[in-house]
Structure 1
Amino acid sequence: MRCRYSVVAACILASFTTVAEESIERLEVQGDFRRLSVQNIAGSIAVVSEQDMERNSAQHLDDVLRQLANVNFAAGASRARFVQVRGIGERSEFIDVINPSVGVLIDGIDYSGLGISSIAHAEQLEVFRGPEATRFGTNAMAGMLNLSSKQPGFQREGALSASLANYNSWQLSGMLSDALSEQLAYSLTLDKQASDGFIENTHLGRKDTNDIDELTARTRLLFRQSDASQWQLIGHFIEQNNGYDAFSLDKNRTTLSDEPGQDRLRSKALALRNDYSGFVGADLMWQLSWLSADSDYSFDEDWAFVGIRPGWEYSAFDRYQRTREQWTLDYRLVSDEQGRLVDATDWVLGFYVSGRDLTLQRDRRSGSRLRAFDNRLQRDNLAAYGETSTPISAQTTLVVGGRIERYQDEYRDSGGISIDQSHTMWGGKISLNFQASDQAMIYTLLSRGYKVGGVNGEALSRAGDDGLEALLQQATFKPETLVNAEFGVKGVAADGSLVTRVAVFHMWRDDMQVKGWLNPDLGPEFAGFIDNAGRGRNYGLEMENRIVLHPSFTLHLNAGLLKSKLGPYITQSELDMTGRDQAHAPRFTYQLAGDWFLTDQLTLQASVQGKSSFYYSDGHNAKSESSELVNLRLSYQLEHWQFALWLRNAFDQDYGVRGFFFGNDPRDEYAPHTYQQWGEPRRIGLSASYQF
């Protein structure tokens, strides 16, 4: 079929002709207002099933995110906790309280800034790309991660899994779902992971200073009160006792720290949810949640030992202890068939309220000098939102949504600084969806997202230091807004041999928040702050394809192209970053994967995950190298058992997941270098699972 450029979309749609009902892909998005197929929702959404996670023997969120187009992450701790979507997202949190551009929900509970601790036996992970203010508010300016644990079932279902791998690593997990009565059912997931980590501390003669020790428990209790009402009680518990000793003066996986740090987290969460369909015209859903978390994050700031070079060396240790108490209430009405407005318009109307209390105790020792700093931020959010979906023809639907949100902050710190802030923000979307058939849709989308401003606690705490007086001008930073224009095509081929999703986008950022650094002599003493850099642009495309080339072979191709630009921005060190690529925004990301069913029991899966180089910061020009990671998995399936031998990063490639540019080595008189935290090296493991 020959197609002119102006009708490419029509030609794509023409290839997806009417098919039998059973061939339609059934991946449903659980995080939207209504449960719909990912093929029928406007927007670039990736749905990662448990089977997709198994393809790369994924054990943590890091392993999953590498599969996705235009998605990146930053470490700077024992695990990746900060995610970037389409080149937008934070990379760390020290003193300053940040509002993530990419939020995290687990079973509807807000874990933004804490990350996802375990993906074992998850129902699915959804990655929303682009602003989702109407649905999620301020935590979704660039996107949202939504993880769902196993839903309770009234038929017994369970699984036990165990893995052994190099670096003295092991994992043991289990899931059980069953009925307690005709009305009551539960699901329970437990996961324990441990590893020595991938660092050798040659000064201490240890290989476990960057170790992993994590326990995660998630449970759901479902009560079917009646045909019209059901309740869910959700509980989470996380205990993380990881080490943190990742940066090397020698720029490799050997460290010289005499005081290795730690990355500890202990959190508890509860949520009560009710779904009620007894009203005429609308269904009611509300969820009340509570979360309490304590974290302890510390590191050897000099990355060395006393005596490494007398006369030049310094010795410092930094520790951040945080507490977080939060509650949220999300309450909404969703129309049913009887409640539709004129022209069969479906609608959603809701409100959201939350309160968050965040405290920090920072203790820093430099030589014999001790410095203590603490602050407290109380934040209240109140929002109202709505959405309508109106058919304007048999195949075309207009969706209009919006959200208005007000936040109020009260900031207090030990330096006597007291700042109260409040701001009203709005976001929304308009999409025009053309449903060519049950298997093909084309959409155009215009959306607006936002995130709150805040207080630069680190700038305020360090403004009295010699050479850092300029930080007095960085007490606060403004909210950021983003506008996204998007065009997309989604389709399933007639015989089910091809599933494709393609999106082209252009985003405009206003008052974009960037991380700045003040470090006059590029030595070890420096201070960070959040700054506003005028405007920025991010544009590109992403696609996801599944192609059945043969009944025994399936190919998966995900790819993203991204171009990002900083607006007018000159750093405190007088570097002109105007027009440069934004931080952690690789121009090219991809995964090419294949599933080869050798026999009814034996399957070989292979993937290549690639990423181009990217800048580590908006405040300096240090860059990562490009990476191409090869993963292999050979599995053998019996009726209830599965055994798998797997390799991740088979060719042992070094690749950076966090980077800085400054001087920290007394052996070369603190000359500036690019220092990187390395990602996972070659991993080889054996897994066994039993399902019943």
Structure 2
Amino acid sequence: MFTLKSYSPIALAVAAALTHTSLMASDTPPANDEMEVIVVTSDFRQSSLDKMPSSISVIDQQQIEDEGAQHFEDVLNGIANFNWSGGSSRAKYFQIRGVGEQEEYQGAPNSSVGYIIDDIDMSGLGMISSMYDLQQVEVLRGPQGTRYGANALAGLIYLKSNDPTSVFEHGAELQLGDDNLRTYSGFSSGPLTDSGKLLYRVSLQQHEQNGYRDNLYLGRDDTNGRDEFTGRIKLRWYATDDLVADLSLMHADFNNGYDAWTLDNNGFDTLTDEPGVDKQRTTGGSLKLTYSGADSFELVSLSSMAQSDTHHGYDGDWANPEFWAARSCEGEPCQYDYTWNKLGDRTTLSQEFRLSSTEAGRIFDGSTDWLVGVYGLRLTEDNDTLEIYNGWEDRLLAEYEATNLAVFAQLDSDLGNGYALSVGARLERRESDYSDSDKDAFDPSENMWGGHIALSKTLSPGQQAYARIARGYKAGGFNMSLPVSLSDKKEFQAETLYNYELGLKSEWLDGDATTHFSLFYMDRRDQQVSASQQNPDEPQKFILYVENAGSSHNYGAELEANWYATDNLKLYGTLGWLETAYGDYAYQDKYGGLVDLTGRELAHSPNLTYSAGATYRSDLGWFANLTTSGKSEFYYSDSNDSKSEPYTIFNARVGYETETWSAYLWGRNLFDEKYGVRGFYFGNEPDNGWADKQYIRYGDPRQLGVTLNVKFM
């Protein structure tokens, strides 16, 4: 049965659209006399992708729409040397070039991969990433020490939604599919005043589906379901000829189930009596003020805030009392009932001011652009974690707050003869304070620095080579509620990463084809490693902590290619090669034995990632898109040798497009590949003495559906 919540986004969007009756032109790209120039909006100066001396992937709006992507999960497999951890209902833990978190059950928010939505910092909370009405997705590989500091050790994911338009545009979209999928979307954009000085854009989406799991114990097929609302409002005000204000507001309410694990590794038929949840409600906004009235500089003020309520919980025994009572534990019916729940409340406030030179303000005889800025971030988070084991409760209340203050500067110089040099640095001070109901208390503080040096050379009008050295950093922290035996691991130090990179960006065939190629070597120092131990006396409990390993080294390459083979056919693909290895690192297992990981590959770091796609548009309006992507095997965890299987998945979309409406048939994972996205290796069955065993969570199976789209002007 449809609810008012299900109807409201589409109803609002259609109502807005019907306020104007003339038709808008199709978004279908024109015949390609030359390729579109892609601008990287996360950069200080919003530079052209082809001119940026670093490895960056940009997925633009046309590709997002061609592939029918609804969530960031639907496009991330097309990014070279990129992976994610499926320990939640939606992807929110990411790894770039082998660096990143697999989960965050406890501890301070401290991400290796930054995640920004319209200048709102959502690092560590990236599940609210609807692709509807997005301008583009940008993935910056390697440390972003100058631009983003402590939350971008491995790189950055930046989502940019479409800006308001000076003419009226409206649209609505309906998507239906198996798994009881229903998605209602709509947008409206245009001027709010006759003068055209105040513009608006509103986009809304409600997404629902059952989640591909059948709970045989409860007789339900929606215990892993997705119920996701995303709303965005953007205003652009041309206050004066010299001052522009951009306001972005976002509200997301993801009310998802989390019932994804099975004891028999079937993966899709669950037995839980208390299915888990994975909820996030976020309200946030950003305000960007751009003043260009001075001759020699431009001033930008960027303010943002976000408040998020989260609830992640799971049925840790993965079954029910009747199931366990039917099994024998030392001659008696087993009794095993365990649940885990964590409620979180996070608030972030940030402010950045930066001055950047205009053409008239360049220094060194007009050869060098300059930029200086200051940044401040205030983060507070309260957590309430409750574990219930056979009726016994263990609750931990925790409060955390951190303040980051930074100064940064960058110089971009034209050295002549096709050479350009970019130099940047950032100094950051972080102070934090933590306390909890177990009487743990920490107040670490530290100074950190990062930056980059990049030299590029234009070899010909369509060829640019570059060399880049970047230093990134990730703040240290602390481990909560450790036993006395691990008291020496209460705190861990900051991690630094040096990234050395060579690249070549090229145009071919009179601009109809492009390739971006990069080679990299990463030197990680004081690497932060997530470790876990299953308590042999209380097998339902895990001891989770982070510690510093010795230096480690990752290296590899990325290749991205696009080719407009004809006016009607576009081909594209990516290829990533990655080699990773621990430095000097060993840890204790649950029995006190020493496990040496020195030289072993890092978790969630496949040696090979690849994707390929083709989009065809006929002159008569017919459309087809086919994509494939895959990964080689990888370790699931740093704490065991459990591995995934290599996999390849195929997606397809066919349809008919006119200037005012379009209709599509689509399929994802067409050959119903069963592929793992997260794995554990531990004991979770008391009837076999809690013997260790591999458990796997699988990605989404095959899904078929239809999409209808209409646009108005």
TM-score in same-fold range (> 0.5):
yes
Instruction: Give 1:353-502 correspondences, 5 Å limit.
Output: 353-457=376-480, 460=481, 462-463=482-483, 469-502=484-517
**Cα deviation 1:590-641 (Å, max 9, x = unaligned):** 1011123345311221111011111111111111111100111102101111
Give the equivalent residue in structure 1 for 2:190. Answer: 178
**Aligned partner (choices 54, 58, 62) of residue 47 of structure 1:** 58
Q: Which amino acid aligns with 1:317?
A: T
Partner of 1:11: none
Structure 1 counterpart of 2:232? 218
Determine the structure 1 residue equivalent to 2:97. 86
**Aligned equivalents of 1:204, 1:474: Cα separation in 2:** 42
Choose the corresponding residue for 2:204, options 173, 182, 190: 190
Q: How far 1:122 sits from its partner (Å)?
A: 0.6
TM alignment of 1:56-95, pairs within 5 A: 56-95=67-106
**Is 1:295 aligned to 2:310, yes or no?**
yes
Deviation per residue, 1:31-87 (Å, 9 max, x gap): 001121100001011111122112332111111101110011112111111111111
Structure 2 distance, partners of 1:177, 1:634, is: 28
Residue 615, structure 1, aligned to residue 635, structure 2: yes
Who is 2:110 aligned against?
99
Q: Which residue identity is paired with 1:558?
A: T
Q: TM-score when scaled to structure 2?
A: 0.91
1:333, 1:349 within 8 Å by CA — same for their partners in 2? yes
Verify: 1:240 aligned to 2:254, yes or no.
yes
SS at match of 2:396: strand
Shift of 1:492: 1.5
Q: Where does residue 350 of structure 2 map in the other structure?
A: 328
* Greater mean deviation of Cα atoms: 524-533 or 235-244: 524-533
What does residue 371 of structure 2 align with? 348
Q: Is the 8 A contact 1:652 1:681 kept in 2?
A: yes
Instruction: Note if contact 1:98-1:454 (Cα within 8 Å) is conserved in structure 2.
Output: no
CA distance in 2, matches of 1:670, 1:612: 31
Aligned equivalent of 1:552: 568
* 367-376 or 550-559, larger mean C-alpha shift: 550-559
Task: Show the counterpart of 1:156.
Answer: 168
Q: Which deviations, in whole Å up to 9, do the C-alpha atoms of 1:269-306 show, x marking residues without a partner?
A: 12221000011211011111111111111111111111
Deviation track 1:523-546 (CA, whole Å, cap 9, x = no partner) reads 443221111111111100001101
Instruction: Note if contact 1:291-1:326 (Cα within 8 Å) is conserved in structure 2.
Output: yes
Q: What are the within-5 Å matches in structure 2 for residues 131-170 of structure 1?
A: 131-170=143-182
- What is the aligned partner in structure 2 of residue 314 from structure 1? 336
1:673-684 counterparts in 2 under 5 A? 673-684=693-704
Aligned equivalents of 2:534 and 2:340: distance in 1? Answer: 18
1:542 to 558, 565, 576: 558
d(CA) in 2 for partners of 1:474, 1:200:
42
Structure 2 Cα separation of the partners of residues 666 and 552 of structure 1: 60
> Would the aligned equivalents of 1:517 and 1:572 in 2 still touch at CA under 8 Å?
no
Whole-Å separation in 2 of the counterparts to 1:635 and 1:133: 44
In structure 2, the gaps of 5 or more residues are: 1-31, 326-332
CA distance, structure 1, for counterparts of residue 384 and residue 295 of structure 2? 52
What residue identity is the alignment partner of 1:174? G
CA RMSD, 1 decimal: 1.5
Structure 2 distance, partners of 1:308, 1:300, is: 14
Q: For residue 51 of structure 1, give the secondary structure of its aligned residue in structure 2.
A: helix
Q: Mean alpha-carbon deviation: is it higher for 246-255 or for 494-503?
A: 494-503
Measured after TM superposition, the shift of residue 313 of structure 1 is: 3.9
Of 472-481 and 126-135, deviating more is 472-481
Among 568, 582, 585, the alignment partner of 1:569 is 585
1:249 aligns with 2:272: no
Taking the aligned partners of 1:137 and 1:618, their CA distance within structure 2 comes to 25
State how far apart, in whole Å, the 1-side matches of 2:390 and 2:157 are. 42
Say yes or no: does 1:273 pair with 2:288. Answer: yes
Aligned to 1:584: 604
Is contact 1:332-1:351 (8 Å) kept?
A: yes
The question of whether the paired residues in 2 share the 8 Å contact of 1:516 and 1:619 is answered with yes
Partner secondary structure for residue 135 of structure 1: coil
Q: What is the deviation of 1:667?
A: 4.5
Is contact 1:516–1:572 with CA below 8 Å preserved after alignment? no
Q: How far has the Cα of 1:22 moved from its partner?
A: 6.5
Pair 1:128-2:148 in alignment:
no
Q: Deviations over 1:113-132 (max 9, x none)?
A: 11043111111111001111
Q: Distance in 1 between matches of 2:529 and 2:694?
A: 19
Letter matched to residue 175 of structure 2? S
User: Which of the residues 671, 676, 686 maps onto 1:656?
Assistant: 676
Q: How many Å separate the matches in 2 of 1:490 and 1:333?
A: 29
Give the corresponding residue for 2:5. Answer: none
- Report the CA distance between 1:520 and its aligned residue: 5.3
Whole-Å separation in 1 of the counterparts to 2:273 and 2:402: 38
> Which shows bigger deviation, 627-636 or 567-576?
567-576
The answer (yes or no) to whether the contact 2:535–2:543 under 8 Å persists in 1 is no
Partner of 1:28, secondary structure, is coil
> Letter of the aligned partner of 1:137 in structure 2?
G
% of aligned pairs identical? Answer: 36
AA aligned opposite 2:353: Y
Q: Deviations over 1:516-567 (max 9, x none)?
A: 0122549443221111111111100001101233443322111100001111
SS in 2 for 1:586: coil
Q: Distance in 1 between matches of 2:405 and 2:288?
A: 19
SS in 2 for 1:307: helix
3-state SS in 2 of match to 1:320: strand
**Residues 34, 512 of structure 2: 8 Å contact kept:** no
Which whole-Å deviations, capped at 9, do the CAs of 1:561-603 have from their partners, x for residues lacking one?
Answer: 0001111111221211111110110100010111233453112
Aligned residue among 537, 541, 548 for 1:525: 541
Helix, strand or coil at the partner of 2:64: helix
1:51–1:24 distance in 2 versus 1, CA, 3 Å? closer
CA distance in 2, matches of 1:439, 1:276: 34
Q: What secondary structure sits across from 2:595 in the alignment?
A: coil
Stretch deviating more after TM superposition (46-55 or 421-430): 46-55
**Does the 8 Å CA contact 1:134/1:428 hold for their aligned counterparts?**
yes
Gaps of 5+ in 1: 1-20, 464-468
Number of equivalent positions: 664
> Are the aligned partners of 1:524 and 1:670 in contact in 2 as well (CA < 8 Å)?
no
Q: Is the 8 A contact 1:295 1:321 kept in 2?
A: yes
Moved beyond 6 Å, runs of 4+: none
String of CA shifts for 1:379-420, please: whole Å, max 9, x gaps: 000000010011222310111001010100111111112211
Query: Deviation of residue 668 (structure 1)?
Result: 3.4
Q: Note the C-alpha offset of 1:363.
A: 0.9
2: distance between equivalents of 1:54 and 1:247?
32
1:308 counterpart SS class? helix
Corresponding residue for residue 637 of structure 1: 657
The one-letter code sitting in structure 1 at the alignment partner of 2:496 is: T
The code of the aligned residue for 2:37 comes to R
Distance 2:429 2:665 in 1: 51
Q: CA deviation at 1:24?
A: 5.0
